[in-house]
Structure 1
C-alpha cells in the first residue's frame, strides 16, 4: 500500500499481481455481466489469462456472475502423474481446477454449477465446434456474446498492470544494452537476436520474450524484412531497428530502438533529432480526455514541421497482455478524420 493505493506486490524486486487486483477484475466483470442479465462467462485466450493470471495448461475458464470462484479447465495432459494440488499450490489466483480437453469438460462444470439452463456469456477465441457443442448439449441455455465487457474492462489499466507493463519494457532495455555491446558487422541477424533474447531471460523475462531486428542501409520496421534479416550479415553503415516483443509474467513490453553500425550518416542524425522532437510533441498531448486522433494529428504536424514524412506504421496503439490492444466500445468515439 502506498499513499492509500494498492501497489503490485514485489518478488525479488520485481512486481507481482496481488489477489486484490484479481478481486478488482472479478468485481468489474461481474457487475457488467449482471447488468446484461448473464449468469456466467466462458473465456479462453487472453481473457482467461486476465482472470487467472496464467495457470499452466489452462484451456477454458468459467466465471460465475455471483461470488463463486473462477473455474479453470486445464489440459488433462498437464495433470498426468501429478495431483491438481501441485498446480493449486503454485499460484494464489485460482482455487478451482478441473482436467479436460474440450467443450465436454466445460459442459460438465456448468452442470455442476447449475448454470446449464442460464444465460451463458462467451468471450475470447471460442470456435464454431465449441459453440455448436454448447448449443446442442445445453438446450435450455441461452448463449450471448460478452466479449465487449472484457474489452471495456481491460481498456483501463490499473496501477498494478502498468507496473507489469513497465517491467516488461525494462526487460527490453536489457536486450538493447546487450546487442549494443555484442552485435558487430559480420554477425547474422539471428546471432544478434539470440544475444538479445538471452539478455531478456537473464533480466527476468518470460521464455516467450523475443524481438524483431531489421537492418540495412535504409532504416525500416517490417516483419517480412526482419525475417529475411535473420540470415543476412550486418554490414558497416547499416542502421538497425529493434522492436520489442518482451514479456514479463504474461504482460508485453513493446517499443523500438535504433542502432547504428558505425558512424550514422548526417541524414540519420537529423532524423534521430527529429524523432526526439516529435516524441515530445506527441507526449504533450497525452492527457485525460485526449483521443487517438489528437495524438495522430500531433504526430503528423510535428513530422511536417521536422521536414520528414510521417509513417502509417505509427499506429499509437495500446498494449498489455495482447499486442496490440484497442479501446473497448465504451471508450470509442467517431473519428473526425477517417482515413
Structure 2
C-alpha cells in the first residue's frame, strides 16, 4: 500500500481509480478497462512530474521523512558485502538507533556507520526513530578509532530527526558525546565520506557528517533544527513550519550553493521511495566517486582537507 503525502492527495485519487478499475476487471474477465486505466496511469504520471518539478522546502521535508524511503539498513544490505555489525560503546549499552561495523564496499574493506529509523512500529520503537543516545555516538567514536588504526575508509549514512533529548540521555552526557563524535570525525587520518539519505537533524547529524565529502539525496534535508522547532521558537507557533523551512535553507540545492554539501544525488521522480533500487544504486555511485576523489590523500593531508572544507564553509556562506 502506497503512503501518500498531503500534497499528493490528487495523485492518490487518480491512482486509486486506476487500481479500482483493474480490480473490477480481475473479478469480471469480460470487462475491457485497459484503455481507461492506461489513460489514468498517464494522467497520474504527468501529475507526479508536475508535483515534484519544483518542491517547496517544506514539501522536501515531508519527502525526506517519508516512511517508505530506503533506510540505512537497506543501503548496507544492498551496497556492502561481508557486513559484520559491531555493538556497544564499551561503557553503557548498545544503541540500536546507530548501525555500524566492518564491511566491504566495491571489495574494499571499510567501516560503515549510520542512523536507522526502522520500517514498522516494532522496529521504529526498537530503533528509537533514528534518534541516537550518547552510547550511539560513543559507539561511532569506537568504530572511527578502529578505522583510523587499521587504515579503513569510513562511510556514514545520516538519517535522523536529531539526537534523543530524553532525561536519561542528558544524564549520560548527550552533548559531550555529540561533540566528541564531531571531534573524532575531524581527527581521523582516513577518508571519511557521508551521505544524507533522509533527514539531517541538528548536531545528531553533524556528529556523523563532518566529513571530507558530503553528498545529499535530492529531496533530503540538513538543518540545525527542524522547521517545527524553529517555528516554535521564533513565532511561538509550530504551524508556521512552512515559513521556517524557507528561512532555514535546508534543502540539498541550497546547501550545495553554501558549500555544506559537495554533491546532490538525483532521486527518481516522486522520491527515493518510488524506486528504491535506483536510489540505492545512485548513492553507491556517489560514494564510489567521493572515495575516488580522496584516494591520493593520506593521513595528515586528509585531516587538512577536512579542516579546510569547514573553515571555507563560512566564507562561502557569506558570499552566498
TM-score using structure 1 length: 0.26
| Structure with the higher helix share, 1 or 2 | 2
| More relative contact order, 1 or 2 (CA 8 Å, 6+ apart) | 2
- Computing the radius of gyration from Cα coordinates, the structure with the larger value is 1
